[in-house]
Amino acid sequence: MRLAILGGGPGSWIGHMHRSAAELDGWWRVVGGVFSGDPARSRDGGALLGYDRERCYGTLDELVAGERARPDPAEAVAIMTPNDTHYPLAAAALDAGLDVVCDKPVTHDAAQARDLVMRTRRHGRLFAVAHGYSAYPMTRYARHLVDTGAIGELRYVQVEYVQSGLAPRIEDAPQNNRLRWVLDPRRSGLALVMSAIGCHAQHLASFAVNRRVTSVCADAISVVPNREVIDTVSALLRFEGGLAGTFTAIQAAAGSENDIRLRVYGANGMLDWSHREPSYLRIAMLNEGPRVAGRGDANLPPEIVALGRAPRGHPEGLREAFANIYAEVAQERMLRALGEPVPAFRYPTIEEGAHTMAFIEACMASQGRWVDVAA
């Protein structure tokens, strides 16, 4: 299937991850795109990445017109532009009849995300959000164990995402294109730390326990002095069914790396997944020693094994997790086109993206009080 890229020009952070993940399993071929907000730079940037110059467009409008005129048009777009452009690009792509894979935060606010839900449904399109952490084999296995009651009735969830990128005052460093949009709250979103990593943490927790967050009591602050953007959010959570939990997202934790960790406690035991060792899931039952399940273990359900590519012990990472999202979207497209039954693929949907935006809004409104997350 043919994919066009929006964003992800030479030198961008996440562009290579998307482009290579989309093509990893052979489902998609990247045919071109719009690689910059500046039309001339977009055409040059796309050509530099190796795409046919004819298919390196200056704007999305040009792309839609140019691809429509071809016998082999792009069938979907992947959006990896600065955050404030996700909504207009996604809305226009859906209206043009394209399926969408969009990076997070999916929009600026929940109202925009709800609008994308409606457009996706109205046009009968597919819309995936690039929450890679819930597409690892072992986070999918955690969800499987929760769904099958392996740890008993759920009691508590702990999710944390800790980074160090905002520990120094990067506001005082020489600015580049990326820092300019990241440090501008009108462009990066309601709270920088939530746009960057908090959205992933909430999504992973909700995914693993298969429940939305219904209310939060949150503290959204900047721990680095004299900072305009929010770098830290701590929150108490209630999920559907009254399940309790805690949430930490901080980008100003000096010395940390890219530490996202999820622990789910049930009446009979717990699950522990950390991005430091993403191919493993620690399972500890009451009165038993812990055991470590690994990607590729023969006793895993076949649909979990199928999410990995190399045997146990051979590292796989975020690229492969992204590739799982692209593969599932492609398979759903194919089954729909063939008129065959479509199983419930687990890639993050626009409905989940809308819930994440409502969660972020609730965290920002909370100011230390319990507030509901809009349904």
Ligand X SMILES: NC(=O)c1ccc[n+]([C@@H]2O[C@H](COP(=O)([O-])OP(=O)(O)OC[C@H]3O[C@@H](n4cnc5c(N)ncnc54)[C@H](O)[C@@H]3O)[C@@H](O)[C@H]2O)c1
Chain residues in the site for ligand X (CB under 6 A): 6-9, 12-15, 34-37, 80-83, 85, 103-104, 130, 132, 177-178, 195
Question: Least distance to ligand X from the beta carbon of 340, Å?
Answer: 30
Nearest of 206, 283, 292 to residue 247 by alpha carbon: 206
> Distances from the Cα of 196 to the Cαs of 188, 209, 332, 372, in angstroms?
8, 22, 28, 23
Strand order in the sheet with 259-266: 291-294, 280-285, 269-274, 259-266, 154-162, 244-250, 232-239, 213-221, 370-372
Q: Which is nearer to ligand X, 203 or 238 (CB)?
A: 203
In the complex with ligand X, which residue's Cβ is closer, 60 or 283? 60
Report d(CA 209, CA 154) in Å as an integer. Answer: 8
Residue nearest to ligand X (CB): 9
* Sign of torsion over alpha carbons 211, 212, 218, 224: positive
Shortest Å, Cβ 339 to ligand X: 32
Cβ closest to ligand X, residue 29 vs residue 178: 178
**Shortest distance (Å) from residue 147 CB to ligand X:** 25
- Considering the complex, state which of residue 15 and residue 266 has its C-beta at the smaller distance from ligand X: 15
Cα–Cα distance measured from residue 354 to residue 352, given in angstroms and rounded to the nearest whole number = 5
Nearer to ligand X, 20 or 177 (CB): 177
Query: Considering beta carbons, is residue 104 or 238 the nearer one to ligand X?
Result: 104
Nearest approach, Cβ of residue 174 and ligand X (Å)? 15
Supply the minimum distance, in Å, between the C-beta of residue 38 and ligand X: 7
Between residues 214 and 349, which has the closer beta carbon with respect to ligand X?
349
Smallest separation (angstroms) from ligand X to the CB of 88: 9
User: If you search the block for the tokens 């399926």, which residue do you land on?
Assistant: 99
Nearer to ligand X, 13 or 340 (CB): 13
Burial zone of 368 (CB within 10 Å; 0-12 exposed, 13-18 middle, 19+ buried): exposed
Residues in the chain: 375
List phi, psi (to 5°) of 299.
-85, 5
Q: Minimum distance between the CB of residue 18 and ligand X, rounded to whole angstroms?
A: 8
Give the list of residues 6+ apart from residue 219 with CB closer than 8 angstroms, or none. Answer: 232, 233, 234, 235, 366, 367, 368
14 or 284: CB nearest ligand X: 14
Q: How far is the CB of 369 from ligand X (least distance, A)?
A: 28
**281 vs 357: CA distance, rounded Å:** 28
Q: Which residue(s) pair with 249 in the sheet?
A: 161, 233
According to DSSP H, which parts of the chain are helical? 15-24, 39-48, 60-68, 86-95, 110-123, 137-147, 177-182, 185-188, 192-193, 199-209, 302-305, 318-338, 350-366
**149, amino acid identity:** G
CB of 200 to ligand X, least distance (A): 7
Least CB distance to ligand X at residue 101 (A): 10
9 in Cβ contact with 80 (< 8 Å):
no
45 closest CA partner among 64, 60, 58 = 58
Kindly tell me which of 154 and 188 has the beta carbon lying closer to ligand X.
188
